Every structure is written in structure tokens, then in C-alpha cells.
Structure 1
Amino acid sequence: MMLSDICGSSLFVSLPDDVFNVMSDSLSPRDLCSISLCCKNLKTLVSSEKVWFSQCENFKIVKTQDLVEWRNGVSSYKCLCKFMFSVQPLLGIWVHQNPELGNVVYVMPGFLSVVGCRILPQELGPLGLEDGPLLWAPVFEIISDEDGGLAFFLHGQERDGEYFYPGSLKPVDRSCNVLLLEVEPRMQSNGCKFLHSKSLVHPHLDWESARQIRRSDGGGFSRSQRVSGSNSSVVAFNRLSFVDRRKLLELVTGQVGLKVPDLASGPLFPQLSDRDGLKKELLLLSERRILLMQMYRHGGGYTDWQTMSGMPSDARVVTSKLKKSLEHPSSTSALLNGDEIHLHNSKRRSVAGYFKDSLKQILGRSFSTGGRVISKNGSSSSESRHAQLHEFLRSGDMIGLSLHASSTKLSTYRAWPNMHDNKYALYKLPTRTPTSGQEYAGLWGGTFGWPPGRPSEDKPGKALFFLLLSYEESEGQQLLIATKILEGTHYVLHPNGSAMFVVKVDDPSTDPFPLEPDGNSSTLDIKHAYTGEGIANGYGFRYPGSKPGSLFVIQDGLLAFVWKESRAVLTLQRINLQELLRKGERVPALPPIVNFAYLTKSYSNVFTSFSNPSNCFRSSR
């Protein structure tokens, strides 16, 4: 056969496997899925394990040697690629405004999973930043099943120990910058199956159109619920009032909580250890993952709210009867038949008492009648600013937790996003990779004081600061901005998101470094120096003003900003959060809802108490 006779799919099929593998590196997973739909021969060619192994490598989520270990837990490298494709946008640093000391959640790879870890405000330990244990608490996990499906677990602490709260993960927006904890209604016929990436099944569709196809395919809703019209449309969770959203989250977490067994309380990701120790860790992680998937299949995270209340399926009738029962407690037992609910954590609660405590504030404020909303004071209106609860519940007879990674337009000030104060959300910080001309971009950590390094005996505790350094153009000048995202003091000195210093990188400083070498060297090698301004003292003010200073680039990759007047020094080093967390120390989480997003304004450390309250850091500026 002449080469000219080979065309179309035959050309690809005739190529040696190694040549096609090299070519496939330049293709995306969606491209490969599109090719596999052309004909049987191309489908067979694209299904090669080598092709999908290369795709998994391209994500750069874990090292190549770890891919082999991850592959042992799934059906194929294609399934592993499906999982990586879904969770890759979640990796990175997520924050919230409250508490003001800092609320930093770092999402990193686990074992066939990604783990959200909250770094606690803390003082630097006696071993320093590199060798000392970094304190952290688990927030959530997303685990892969054998086919690349996703299982979501929220972490939380209750009086009798640690709990898991299983739920679902909505399709992830590739450019997501907001992570929302929501309640999702679902029809029981749809079950509580794992979420499989629609974008891999439909390679030419974006996430928005994939969601539309899922709804048009039925999505578990009956035909009557898919008829066009405002009364039958699906109501988004964020359209409910804040009180309704909070109470629904409390209601669901109270029902789906699973007590963490001993085996599942082990490590969430491999620690840094020798080869023999790593093998044992991977075995424990594999057993833990299998146990969690069994718990997920058994629980599923969804609860039948109609069965719980023993009421008719029509949501409008449900809310009306429930309101009457709340207004007349004597009729509650008749309405609910005095039944009790057996929770997944083996606790028993009275349905009447449970609903009276959990939903009275939701449904007692207003109820719908004749298409009009009548409030407690008797006023009415044809439209309500927020959606009504019965409209939301009408979408399904099951409710459960849901994690929603979406993209929204956010305004920022000096690299810090302006956040909503009434949404259970985390906001992603864009972390730029250092490039030529922007060498100092990225995450840095350090403390006040000189010389840098480990705390001394007379100063056993130094507050640990995390700063995100980014570049910005202003009035024709390039600025280097150091945004505070974590502060390890006992009581906040500077609000979350403050610019600790702003430096003009095009304006060299002629000021000498005002302090002596650190004692380990006879001379101090200053690579560069730039003029700038550092934040001034001004507790209670988000923008308290600034005072002149200089940023010095020192040997060993250190940065030191010095306030000119007070000679206070903030010394920084570039940090790798993933490596620090692997060597870190895990501490208990908060109760589930506030563990995800702490919305209450606070100026102290709400996550943990310091071992020595007397060691309170104070700035000398």
C-alpha cells in the first residue's frame, strides 16, 4: 500500500504506538475523547494505557512514581485522568475574610483524592518554619472511586468526636474562583450516584452547557417538574435567604453525619518518610479510602426530608402544615405521629423537636398563600426578594450537601477579593508563578525580628505571617504588593487582606541595611534594595496608612522589609505549603458548617488556643 493511499483514521492507526503517544501529548483529554468517537479503530487506539498515562502526567498533580500507586486504585489511567481533570481547578489557596487573623485553606493532593487543609494562625515553633510542625485542620476531602467518580466529604467536630458529612460535587468550572457549600434537592429515583465528568463524555461542551444537558436529560426530575414556567423551575440554593440557607445546612449536617471510625482517622495524605515507611503509609491510605467509599455508598449523604417529617410530598402543603404545627405545638405529635429518626451516627432525635428547633425560624417568618407572601406583621407583597423554601424543596424529595465550584466576577483591592459576608464560601487567590521581571511573585512566610531563623530563648514565640506577593501596574510604575493572608498573633494587628508593604521595583533604594549580620556570617550580602512603604500601626482601620521603608533582597533567597523610622524588620522566605503540611501537625476541626466558612466577625484566634497566652506578639512600628 502506498503512503498516499493511507488517509483519515487509517493514517493514525498505521502509526507506531510510540509515535502516536508522542503526538497525543499535544492533545487535551477532550480531544482524545472526540477522536475515540470517530470509529472503532481510533477508539481502540485512544484507549491505550500509555496515552492516558501521559495525560495524567501532564496535569502535574503528583509525581510520576505516585501515578503508579494511584493507578492501582482505579480501573484505568483514563479513569484516573477523569478524576484529575475534574479536581485540578480546585488545587491552590482559598481564603475568607473572617476571622481577621486569617482563614487559609490549601487544597492539595492526598491519595486518589484532594484534601482541603486549613492552616491555623500560630506562632513559629522552636524548630523554625522549615523543621517545626505547621498546625492544620481538615476541612474537606474529594475522593475518587474506581471509575473516576467523585465523593465529597465535609469534615467537622462534634461533642463525641470527629465526623464525616458526605455529599456531592457539582460540575467544576475550569476557571472557578468561589467554592460554595450548599444544600441540593434531588429526586430519590436519581439516587446518590457518583458524579462523572460530563465534559469528558461531551468533549466539545463547556461546563455551562454540560449542566444544561444534564437538566434536559431529566436529572432525576419528573416530566411535570421540567415543564416551562416559573412555578416548575429549579430554584438555586443561593436564592434563599441567609437564614434559610444556614438552617438547611444545619438540618442536613445533623442528619447525614457519620462518626469517623478508627481506621479512617489516620493520615489524609502521605507524609515525608523513607521508602519502607512510605509503603506502609500508602497501604494505610488505600485501606482508608476503601472504607470511606463503603461509607459513602451506604450513606450517600442524602436524606428523604418527606419521610423524616411524615408529611405529603407537595412542598407547599408541607410548609403550610409544618407552620401550623409550629404555631400549635399540641398538634405536632399528631402531624408527625411521634416517630423518631435514627441518624447515621446512631443518635435518636424526636422529629417534632428536631423540626421545631431547626425549621421554626425558617418557616415561621412567612408562608405563602394564594401566590402572595404574608409576613408576621401582616404585610404582603406579590413578589419576595428571596425564593421561598417550598419552591426550593419542590425540586426533589431528597436533600443533601453539595460542593459547588463556580466562577463569578469579583472586584479586588491590592490582590485581595471583596467577599460576600453572608455566603458559606471560600475564595481562590490567584498564585502567580515567578517569571523574569516578576521574580518575587508567590507565597512567602516569615516573622518580625532580626536575625531571622529560629526563636531564641528570650523570645520563644514569634507570630508566623503568610504573605502573597503579586505585581500590579499603577501610574506607569510596577508595584510589588505583599498581601497578608495569615497572622499568628493572639489578637489581630492588621485586618485580613491588608497590604503589609508596597514596593516600587523600578526605584532602587540607597538606604543601607540598618542591622548587623545574623551571627552565622561576618558579612551581609544585599542583592537588591527597593524603596517602598509599609503598613502603619492603626488597629481597627483596614487602611491605616503607611510609613516609608525599603525591601532588601538578601542571600539565601530571603526578603527583609525594614520600616525606616522604627527599624522594625519583617523577614520572609519562600514557602512550599504542600511540603510543610506533610510535615505538619493535625489538630481537631470546628463544627461542620463553621469549619467550612467562618462568617462571624472575629479579631482573635477562633481555631485553636495558644499554649502560652503571655507570649503575645506586639509590633514596634
Structure 2
Amino acid sequence: MMSDPCGSSFLLALPDDIFSLVSQSLLPRDICNLTMCCRDLYSLVASDKVWITQCERVGVVPPQDLIEWRKGVSSYKALCRFLISVQPLIGIWVHQNPELGNVVYVMPGFISVVGCRIIPQELGPLGIEDGPILWAPVFEILSDDDGSAVFFLHGRDTENDYFYPGSVKPVERTCNVLLLEVEPRQQKDGGKLFHSKSFIHHLDKELSQKVCRSDSGISRSRTVVGQGASVVPFSRLAFGDRRKLLEIVTIQIRQKVPDTVSGPLFPRLRDDEENFQKDIVLLSERRSMLMQIYRLGGERIDWKVSSELPSDPTQLDLSEIRKSLDRASGFRNSLNGDDGRTQCTKRKTLGGYVKDGIKQILGKSISINSSRAILKNGSSSSENKHAQLHEFLRSGDTIGLTLHASTMKLSSYRAWPNMHDSRFALYKLPMRAPTSGHEYSGLWGGTFGWPPGKPTEDKPGKALFFLLLSYEESQGQRLLIATKILEGTHYVLHPNGSAMFIVNIDEPSLDQFPWDTDADSLPVNVEHAFTGEGIANGYGFRYPGSKPGSLFVIQDALLAFIWRESRAVLTLQRLNLQELLKKGERVPALPPIANFSYLTKSYSNVFAGFSNTSYCLSSPRFEMCVACGSSPRVHPNPHHGCECVSSLTGEVPQSSQYCTYEAATLKRGVWPIG
């Protein structure tokens, strides 16, 4: 019988280089399916030449870096597994608080991805391109030898830096929310830990005796996955329960950062090849130490002399968690399942009071059975709102920190997502690459004032702004919207998500650009000009007023929006955050939970002092010119008042030398101007 020319024999007859080119048109799952056809195809598909093309196709790191990354894993197939799992995380993640900006950029590290927070800051003397951008580490996700992902949260407490090891849930391809959670797990088969959502957990008698249910019954918020077993999602717990669990778990699992792993998180740019190779050596040693800490618990055990492997350092025994919760105020009743009885007692007392009052007023008696029915319905309604803590802890016998990249249905306004104020989460910004008709999409940064670039001697402290430019169709018009995501002022001028300007791409502007030359005394060449409106008065309002202006597209890929009345100018240039961070300067992080998701409402720069004793810096008074962003010590005219015109109100300040903001005053959404 003649063999099929299009069957496996045809593929096996191809040279390895040709087959690797053919495999570029296949998805990784298709290549894995080929391995199940026959042994010969299994051997052919296992070739590194096949999987390196898949790694290049994912596009997380450039091809020249893949060779260095391959040295730290067992194969290109394992590396591809890791790259595919973390690829949806690459990009910009934000949170509403603090209002100055909470921007976390997830970028490649070394056989890892790193979440870096850009600190709100003033532009340094070297400008955006050459000056060091300040940033703080938030988390790392490293690849193990087999391509599986491990998680480290960063944080600082009492003058020391700590790692907080945990696990990574499977990353959804379209994830838009990054959640910090706690997850119970079942320990079986000699200590091997299994994912609680993948198996049915049967509760033993001892656990049932220690953690009893409330008299009101089982909460309907639980998700039943099998007979006698259930899993309660972390998100269904009350906010206080979630916060307390995160606090207890992070304290218990933290590992002090040793000097051997306090080095860089990613290599410098390849422009300096010698230092780049030195960074690779340091990063390789650092990764080996981190994986030992993850597997063996770091300082808890000397893995060089110990003959026994300890239990997973990322997981805690639930008996210890219960003791910690029992000691915490307000958690004893919730943990022991007494919430239902306590609430019922309170409601009976209140019900009796109401009953006596009604008897006195109306002279009518109320049925005891009716009263009990009301109490029963009230208890059920309360339980439907939040899951009980003791039910959550019944899902396993160990507990640990988890990073959960999920897809949620979120509404947005002008590219800024509407966020939940009680979730320990980061939200992904929808970044779109520039295309035909959408040439200005993406991340831009700059300062107020002309000429753009490096600050001058009289104005060395210009506030740095990050804006996300996106397109939107409205009433048949194509609008370009500049959404503020970060500002480097001392005290917030506009909340996150404010539109700094909106222009109509289809309506050319007849306004003339006010300046003829740039910083190098070269003539300014305006390529395009569009009519629009820029943000105006109403400091602190989510949707303030606007005043007319124009957006100018200048040579060297510069944008400049000019308010028509005030002639204030905001100059912007396109940013490459990965390159800026590699040239940046690392600063200490906040305490772990606040370092991941800062939930406290704040209008000042909580990152500026890098304090680890408080989540919010207090400063009674900050002074700054609204138009130019200068601090009072370096204002251009310190004796004759402010020469700058407010870019937000279009008026020259008359009552004071500077525009002054008081951090303690916030009335009707407006910050006072002194």
C-alpha cells in the first residue's frame, strides 16, 4: 500500500529548518497535537528549532534575548509555556488611588516579568529621555525550570525589604483585572499541594468540629462543586475579612530580602554590551536564589545541609491562620460561625423593642411566628450579600497568597475603566498600537511650557505628565482624547481619568503656533493642527469645564496643545516605558498590600517620601504655579507675582504670588487657590 504523500511521512521527510518554518503557521496547541500522532513526529516536534519560532511569535522578548533566557529553563518548549502564560500581563495597569497616578507597567525581566510602579515626579535636569525615571517594584513572576510560573510580591516594612511568595492562577487571555487574593488549598499525597478549584474537597470530622456552621444554615454564595464539598471565591468575602486575611498571610509568609538577591530586576539596555552581560550574570544568580527561597523557605532552613525538604513556604497551615484570626478583634464570631446567632440575638432584641412600641401606639399584638419569619428572611438576605469566613476556610487545610488575572465586564469613560473601590486590584488600560487613521494612539508624556525637553535653570522642577491618547467616534466625529494617568505635582490638579484635552481630528485649526523656534533655536515645522478643547476650571471635578484650544503636530514626533486664551502649552512626546525604566532609578516600595493596590483615597503624592510607617504622607500646604508647574523656590518672578497664566482657568492669579493648594481642604470637589 502506498503511503499518503500528505501524511506524517511527508512531514518527516522535510529538513528541520523547513519544518520549523512550517511550524510558524501553527499554534502551540496544534504542535502539541502532532506529538500524539506517532513517535517520530514526537521526536521531530520536540526540536528546539520548532519551539524557538513559537517563542519569537509570542513576542514578549526580542529574539536575541531568547538565547539568554533559554539557559535558565529545561527547553525552548518550557520557555514558550511561560511566555504564553504571562504575555497577557504585559502592559500598563492602573488604579484610581492615589489621584496623582498609580501606574504599574509590567515588562520583561530575566526569565520573568516585573511589575514596576512609576512614581509621580518632577522632570529631572536631564529631561525625559536621559533623566532617571523613579520607579518602585510591585511584583515579579518568574519561570521555573519546566516553564511554570511562581509569584513574588514586593513590600517594605520597618526599614526592611521583603518578598512575599505565592502562586499564579491560570492567566486568562483577555484579562483586564489583576487581583491579589488568598486561596485555601488541599494538601494530599505526601505534602503535594493541589489547586482548590481543580479537585473536590471532602471535609474531615476534625475540621467540621473546629469550624462549625452558623445556625442560619449554609450561605447561598458558595459554589458547590461536589457532594459535601464547596469552594467559596475570595471575592465573595466581606471587605474586612479579605483585608484581614491578606494582612495575616503576608506577615506569615514574608521572607527578608537577602543581600544576594537585592540586585537588578532586569538588565540594562544593550547599548552597553559589557554592562549588559554583567547584568545577565547577576540576574541569573539572583533567579537561582529566588527559586531556592520559593521552594525551601529561604532563611527558615539551610537547604545546603538539610536532608529533608520542608513544607511549601508559600502555604500556611489553616490552624495557625485560625489562631491569628481568633486573636484579631471582631473575627472570633465570624470564624467560629457565630455570626448568625449573634445577629439573630440582636435582631430579637430590636424586634422586641419595636413590638413593644407598636403595642403601645396601636394597641395591637404582633404574632411571634410573624416576627420569626421576618428575622429568618433578614438573616438570609444578609448571608446572600457576603460569604462567611469560616465557609471560605473549609475549602482546604493550607492557605497562601495568589495572583489572579481575570476578565471582568467593566464600563469605561474616555478609555478610563470604572473601578471597584473595595477590591485589591489593578486594572489594565486598553493600549492600541498606532495604525492608519489612529496615528497618535498610545502613551505620551511631557510637561507644561515651551520649549520642550530639558528644564531650564529658572524652572528645574516641571511636573511630568503621562497621558493615554485614544480615539472615539461621537456624533459622526473622530475625537482624539488625552486621558491623564499620572501627574508629577505635589498635590493633584485633576483626578485620574480626566481628559486633559479633546480634539476633532476631522476639523483643521486656523490658529497659528505662537513660537518660531525650539530649544535649539531651530525653526518649528508644524505638520498638522486640529481644533479642540482643553481642561479648564473646576479643580478636582471628575468632569470639569473646558476652554477652546488647538493641538499642533510638530516635527520630531512632538505634540503641543495650546489653550487659546491663556496661551499655556502642554508639550508631549511618545514614550517607551521599557527603555525609560531600564535607565531609571529604583526607590523603596510601600508595605505589601498598599504596594499592590492603594485603596485609601489620597490627593497627595504618597510615594514621594517612600515612607513605610504610613500609607499617606501628610503635608499641610504645598505651593505650585498651575501653568508652569514650578515650585515657589524656583519661580521665574518671585518678587512681582506669577507671570504665568493659569492653564486651567485662563486667569492671571492676582491675590497671591503663587497658586497655593492646601492638602487638608477639600470642599465641593474644589481645591482653594491662595
State the TM bucket, normalised to the shorter chain.
0.7 to 0.9
Offset of 1:451 from its aligned partner? Answer: 1.0
Structure 1 match to 2:58: 59
CA distance in 1, matches of 2:190, 2:523: 68
After superposition, give the CA deviation of every residue in 1:221-267 in whole Å (9 maximum; x if it has no partner): 67999985696310000000000000000010010000000011100
Q: Which letter maps to 2:423?
A: K
Counterparts of 1:232-247 in structure 2, within 5 Å, are 232-247=229-244
Quick check: which has more Rg, 1 or 2?
Answer: 2
Distance 1:465 1:530 in 2: 21
- Tell whether the 8 Å contact from 2:561 to 2:571 is kept in structure 1 after alignment: yes
Q: CA deviation at 1:304?
A: 3.4
Instruction: Give matches, 1:143-292, under 5 Å.
Output: 143-189=142-188, 215=197, 218=199, 232-272=229-269, 274-292=272-290
1:490 aligns with 2:498: no
* Distance apart, 1:483 and its partner CA: 0.5
**CA–CA separation in structure 1 for the residues paired with 2:159 and 2:179:** 27
Partner of 2:292: 294
SS across alignment from 2:346: coil
Report the counterpart of residue 584 of structure 1 in structure 2.
584
Query: What is the match of residue 535 of structure 2?
Result: 535
C-alpha contact 2:185 2:395 (8 A) present in aligned 1: yes
Instruction: Measure how far apart 1:182 and its partner are.
Output: 0.2
Between the aligned partners of 1:376 and 1:179, the Cα distance in structure 2 is 40
How many Å separate the matches in 2 of 1:540 and 1:133? 29
For 1:546 and 1:363, the matched residues in 2 are separated by: 53
Length-normalised TM-score, structure 2? 0.79
Is the contact made by 1:303 and 1:400 (CA closer than 8 Å) also made in structure 2?
yes
What's the % identity of the aligned pairs?
65
Measured against aligned partners, the alpha-carbon deviations of 1:490-514 in whole angstroms (never above 9, x if no partner) come to 0000110101100100000011012
Q: Which amino acid aligns with 1:374?
A: Q
Mapped partners of 1:573, 1:39: distance in 2? 55
Structure 1 SS opposite 2:84: helix
1:456-467 to 2 correspondence within 5 Å? 456-467=456-467
- Give the structure 2 partner of residue 138 of structure 1: 137
1:14 match = 13
Q: Kindly indicate whether the alpha-carbon contact (under 8 Å) linking 1:231 and 1:391 is maintained by their aligned counterparts in 2.
A: no
1:381-420 equivalences in 2 (<5 Å): 381-383=379-381, 384=383, 385-420=385-420
Structure 2: which amino acid aligns with 1:423?
R
Distance apart, 1:73 and its partner CA: 0.5
SS at match of 2:556: helix
Asked whether the equivalents of residues 200 and 226 of structure 2 are also in contact (C-alpha less than 8 Å), the reply is no
Normalising by structure 1, what TM-score?
0.85
Residues 221, 87 of structure 1: CA spacing in aligned structure 2 closer, same or farther, 3 A cutoff?
farther
Q: Assess if the C-alpha contact under 8 Å between 2:124 and 2:461 holds in 1.
A: yes
Per-residue deviation, 1:31: 1.1
Residue 654 of structure 2 is matched in structure 1 by none
1:30–1:477 distance in 2 versus 1, CA, 3 Å: same
CA contact 1:367–1:375 (8 Å) conserved in 2: no
Q: Which deviates more, 162-171 or 609-618?
A: 609-618
Q: Which residue of 2 aligns with 1:374?
A: 343
* Pairing partner for 1:616 from 607, 621, 624: 624
Q: Is the 8 A contact 2:325 2:331 kept in 1?
A: no
Write the letter of the residue equivalent to 2:249. V
Q: Partner of 1:48 in structure 2?
A: 47
Describe the SS at the equivalent of 2:337.
Answer: strand
Corresponding pairs, count: 559
Structure 1 Cα separation of the partners of residues 191 and 445 of structure 2: 42
Which residue in the other structure is 2:102 paired with? 103
Aligned counterpart, 2:571: 571
Partner of 1:341: none
- Native 8 Å contact 2:453 2:519 kept in 1: no
Shift of 1:19: 1.8
SS at match of 1:440: coil
Structure 2 residue matching 1:527: 3-state secondary structure: strand
The answer on whether the counterparts of 1:365 and 1:376 sit within 8 Å (CA) in structure 2 is no
CA contact (8 A) 1:368 1:374 kept: no
Change (3 A) 1:370 1:129: closer
Instruction: Give me the whole-angstrom Cα distance separating, in 2, the residues matched to 1:192 and 1:406.
Output: 28
Partner of 1:315: none
* Distance in structure 2 (CA, Å) of the matches to 1:407 and 1:175: 6
| Letter matched to residue 329 of structure 2 | K
Separation in structure 1 between the aligned mates of residue 340 and residue 239 of structure 2, nearest angstrom = 22
Residues 50 and 228 from structure 1, CA distance in 2 versus in 1: closer, same or farther, beyond 3 angstroms? closer
- 1:277 offset after TM fit, Å? 1.4
Say if 1:185 and 1:395, in contact at 8 Å, map to a contact too. yes
Q: Does 1:436 align with 2:436?
A: yes
Equivalent of 2:316 in 281, 299, 304 = 304
- The question of whether the paired residues in 1 share the 8 Å contact of 2:70 and 2:76 is answered with yes
Residues 420/191 of structure 1: CA separation in 2 closer, same or farther (3 Å cut): farther
In the alignment, which residue of structure 1 is the partner of 2:659?
none
Aligned residues of 1:62 and 1:109 also touching (Cα < 8 A): yes
In structure 2, what is the equivalent of residue 342 of structure 1?
none
**Equivalent residue of 1:470, what SS?**
strand
Q: Deviations over 1:131-190 (max 9, x none)?
A: 000000000000001110111000000104100000000000000000000000011227
CA deviations over 1:269-315 (Å, ceiling 9, x no partner): 00125222111110000000000000000134434344426xxxxxx
After superposition, the Cα gap between the structure-2 partners of 1:376 and 1:460, relative to the gap in structure 1 and judged at 3 Å, is farther
- Indicate the larger mover: 603-612 or 131-140: 603-612
Residues 1:446 and 2:446 are matched in the alignment: yes
Aligned to 2:113: 114
Unpaired segments of 5 or more residues in structure 2?
209-222, 298-311, 349-374, 611-616, 628-645, 648-674
1:372 Cα deviation from its structure 2 partner: 6.3
Distance 1:227 1:157, change over 3 A: closer
Amino acid at match of 1:402: T
Q: Deviations over 1:502-554 (max 9, x none)?
A: 01000000110123422423421000000001111211211111110000000
**Whole-Å Cα distance in 1 between the matches of residues 204 and 8 of structure 2?**
41
Deviations 1:300-339 (A, max 9, x none): 4434344426xxxxxxxx7xxxxxxxxxxxxxxxxxxxxx
Q: What is the Cα deviation at residue 365 of structure 1?
A: 6.2
Report the equivalent of 2:331: 362
> Which amino acid in structure 1 is aligned with residue 80 of structure 2?
C
Give the drift of 1:84. Answer: 0.3
CA distance in 2, matches of 1:190, 1:545: 64
8 Å Cα contact 1:164-1:257 kept in structure 2 = yes
- Residue 426 of structure 2 aligns with which residue? 426
Out of 223-232 and 85-94, give the one that drifted further: 223-232
Contact 2:201 2:229 in 1 (8 A): no
Which letter does structure 1 place at the counterpart of 2:273?
A: R
Unaligned runs of 5+ in 1: 196-210, 310-317, 319-350
Aligned partner of residue 521 in structure 1, secondary structure? coil
Alignment partners' CA distance in 1, 2:105 and 2:224: 42
